[in-house]
């Protein structure tokens, strides 16, 4: 049996009275607590409105640009290099002389062929007179037919020799022209392969000239998007070699084979140099494969992943309470912070933007601002 003192009994009674007072106070303040708890549970959000705008379905690629014309000039005659008129990095124009080869042997060959022509001219003139004389004698029956035939045959031989000699002169003159190499395009000397004094044979590379104006862009795209690429599609091109310069082009050709190693399709477009671009530089491309002028779009933050799929939260106003309703949507292209809604909502619908990630169906929200 436990025995309490009078002082102890007083303490127990005092504790019980205080406990009842606290419980009574808590019961009286409960409605205010419920309201405060509801305010604390509201998620702070911003609201946006679904709108219509043009959506472009775009593909991106990083490729390179090359010159459409990069001829490597080679020797067309066997000769020694006597003069190089340009150096690497110099601009040249079509028809400008670049390299001169020694033409001494060719000049002598031309003189020899021309001398043969002079000799044949004299022989042909003499033989023509003889044939004419034999024909006159033949009309008077004082010349055998055989001698006339021999004279006419000899004249034909001289005339054939004349044609061959004239052809030799034409060949020598052609080689003399080729002994001076000229630029076939407007461009820049990319590389010089020989020096003055080198003896070159036919086919020896002398200079490489690059056309810097007519360019070709080669862009690899994954084979998985091959069905979306077509001739004539618009390309927007930029290059880090010239920041800020943008060029619009069209798809001109798609290589028929997929790359063995890269498994990529190569799209080709021809462009003219806007000024500062350089062959072999990197080029960044945006290919517009589809355009939808009246697509419904919402801020990218509005669409979140839930077990039901892609959803947005529609703003619901009930008196002073603001709640949300979950709506499943189908999404399309993304563009500049916006995402296309293929189905699920209509233009003008108010929905949650910032804060949607933290919501569930029926959640209480507190709107801080409405985005334009």
* pLDDT over threshold 90, residue 339: yes
pLDDT at 34 over 70: no
pLDDT at site 22: 36
Q: What is the pLDDT of residue 139?
A: 82
Query: d(Cα 289, Cα 266) in Å, to the nearest integer?
Result: 15
Last residue of a domain, one of 264, 291, 318: 291
Whether residue 31 is contained in a domain is answered as no
In this structure, is residue 27 part of a structural domain? Answer: no
Q: Are residues 216 and 286 in the same domain?
A: yes
Between 40 and 247, the higher pLDDT residue: 247
Same domain, 234 and 297: no
Tell me the pLDDT tens digit for each residue of 292-302: 889 999 999 99
Position 40 confidence tier, pLDDT thresholds 50, 70, 90: low
Structure tokens at 135: 């024909």
**Bridge partners (DSSP) listed for residue 188:** 91, 210
Whether 225 and 268 map to the same domain: the answer is: yes
CB atoms within 10 A of CB 63: 20
Q: Which residue has the higher pLDDT, 262 or 77?
A: 77
Long-range (24+ apart) CB contacts under 8 A made by 146-152 are: 151/127
User: Which residues form the domain of 267?
Assistant: 59-68+211-291
Is the domain of 267 the same as that of 356?
no
Using CA atoms, how far apart are residues 141 and 139, in angstroms rounded to an integer? Answer: 5
- Same domain for 142 and 158, yes or no, is yes
Do 230 and 318 sit in the same domain of this protein? no
The model's pLDDT over 183-197, given as tens digits with 9 standing for 90+, comes to 999 999 999 999 999
Q: What is the mean pLDDT of residues 89-110?
A: 92
Whether 224 shows a pLDDT value over 60: the answer reads: yes
Q: How many domains would you assign to the chain? A: 4
- 30 part of a folded domain: no
The CATH number that applies at residue 198 is: 2.40.50.100
Residue 26 within a domain: no
pLDDT band of residue 370 (cuts 50, 70, 90) is: confident
Question: Of 190, 210, 230, which residue is a domain's last?
Answer: 210
- With pLDDT > 90 as the criterion, what percentage of the chain qualifies? 68
What are the φ and ψ backbone dihedral angles of 134, each rounded to 5 degrees?
-65, -35
Same domain, yes or no: 87 and 111:
no
User: Tens digit of pLDDT for each residue in 234-281?
Assistant: 999 999 999 999 999 999 999 999 988 888 999 999 999 998 899 999
Domain shared by 340 and 297, yes or no: yes
| Domain match, 199 and 157 both | no
Position with higher pLDDT, 153 vs 10: 153
**Average confidence score pLDDT of the chain:** 86
Q: Quick one: pLDDT at residue 38?
A: 52
Mean pLDDT within 317-323? 88
| Residue 259 pLDDT | 86
> Given this model, what pLDDT does residue 84 score?
94
From residue 108, give the alpha-carbon distance in Å to each of 151, 172, 198, 225.
33, 9, 21, 65
How does residue 11 score in pLDDT terms, banded at 50, 70 and 90? very low
């Amino acid at each position: 049996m436990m025995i309490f003192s009078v002082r102890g009994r007083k303490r127990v009674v005092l504790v019980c009275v205080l406990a009842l007072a606290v419980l009574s106070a808590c019961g009286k303040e409960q409605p205010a607590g419920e309201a405060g708890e509801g305010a604390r549970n509201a998620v702070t959000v911003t609201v946006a409105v679904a709108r219509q705008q043009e959506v472009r379905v775009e593909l991106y690629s990083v490729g390179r640009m090359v010159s459409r014309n990069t001829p490597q000039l080679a020797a067309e005659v066997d000769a020694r290099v006597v003069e190089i008129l340009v150096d690497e990095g110099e601009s040249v124009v079509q028809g400008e002389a670049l390299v001169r080869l020694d033409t001494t042997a060719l000049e002598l060959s031309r003189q020899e062929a021309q001398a043969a022509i002079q000799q044949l001219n004299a022989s042909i003139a003499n033989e023509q007179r003889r044939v004419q004389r034999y024909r006159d004698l033949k009309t008077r029956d004082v010349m055998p037919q055989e001698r006339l035939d021999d004279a006419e045959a000899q004249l034909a031989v001289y005339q054939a020799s004349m044609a061959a000699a004239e052809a030799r002169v034409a060949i020598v003159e052609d080689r003399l022209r080729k002994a001076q190499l000229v630029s076939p395009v407007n461009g820049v000397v990319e590389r010089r392969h020989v020096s003055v004094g080198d003896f070159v044979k036919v086919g020896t590379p002398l200079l490489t000239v690059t056309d810097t104006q007519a360019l070709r862009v080669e862009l690899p795209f994954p084979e998985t998007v091959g069905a979306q690429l077509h001739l004539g599609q618009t390309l927007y091109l930029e290059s880090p070699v010239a920041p800020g310069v943008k060029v619009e082009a069209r798809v001109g050709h798609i290589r028929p084979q997929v790359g063995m190693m890269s498994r990529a399709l190569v799209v080709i477009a021809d462009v003219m140099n806007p000024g500062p671009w350089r062959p072999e530089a990197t080029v960044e491309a945006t290919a517009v494969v589809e355009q939808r002028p009246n697509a419904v779009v919402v801020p990218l933050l509005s669409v979140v992943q839930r077990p039901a799929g892609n959803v947005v939260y529609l703003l619901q106003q009930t008196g002073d309470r603001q709640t949300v309703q979950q709506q499943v949507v189908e999404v399309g292209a993304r563009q500049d912070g916006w995402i296309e809604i293929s189905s699920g909502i209509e233009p003008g619908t108010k929905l949650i933007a910032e804060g949607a990630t933290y919501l569930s169906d029926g959640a209480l929200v507190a709107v801080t601002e409405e985005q334009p």
